[in-house]
Chains A and B, each alone.
Chain A
Amino acid sequence: DAKTTQPPSMDCAEGRAANLPCNHSTISGNEYVYWYRQIHSQGPQYIIHGLKNNETNEMASLIITEDRKSSTLILPHATLRDTAVYYCIVSRSYNTDKLIFGTGTRLQVFP
């Protein structure tokens, strides 16, 4: 199972873009990259996922390198409500959605 490496914490000024990196050098060809976030004492919230191509939705953009060994989650205009722990996850199995959560990156957005 592919594992991920994320910085333990990051800061970002409100209104600026937050770029959260993730390394997944052992990812296999049929594994997806997922991003979730967890605000304190709540259940995780899905943000975005991708396989090979870059993806964008109303919350964020996901940039996956061509070799798929790393990715970056971009929050284009961070707000105070984006303060949370962000998890980068590589899916475990082709047939299920079993997810392995690491310790994630704690993003602090400041005024």
Chain B
Amino acid sequence: DGGITQSPKYLFRKEGQNVTLSCEQNLNHDAMYWYRQDPGQGLRLIYYSQIVNDFQKGDIAEGYSVSREKKESFPLTVTSAQKNPTAFYLCASSIGQAGNEQFFGPGTRLTVL
């Protein structure tokens, strides 16, 4: 089946630890995105990548880092510099041209204790 996978679904970490969230897609999409969602709020863009080995900051990139070494993978690291890391994290991918839909993964709910 084609799609986007995120793992794990729930993740717990202690404050001060870095944590990396996984996002894999087998849709052969060029563009990938990371969003954050807080309770009762819409999604906010963290980082996006239009092509391998290239990525840009979104609206709330501080405290996060990404890499795009392979077309199918776009891991997100939540660093200890992120002041409020507890949130629902969503990864998406698209063909990468305007007018095309984004496909979302099931999300990872991160709780920092």
Contacts and interface: CB of A to CB of B under 8 A. Distances in A.
A96 B35 contact: no
A103 B96 contact: no
Contact of B45 (A87, A94, A95, A98): A98
A96 B102 contact: no
Nearest to B102: A97
Contacts of A43: 4, 90, 92, 104-107
B43 interface: yes
A28 interface: no
Nearest to A102: B42
Interface of B: 4, 31, 33, 35, 40-45, 48, 50, 58, 88, 90, 92, 94, 96-107, 109
Interface of A: 30, 32, 34, 36, 41-46, 49, 51, 87, 91, 93-104
12 contacts: A41-B107, A42-B107, A43-B92, A44-B90, A46-B101, A51-B99, A96-B31, A96-B48, A97-B96, A98-B45, A101-B44, A102-B42
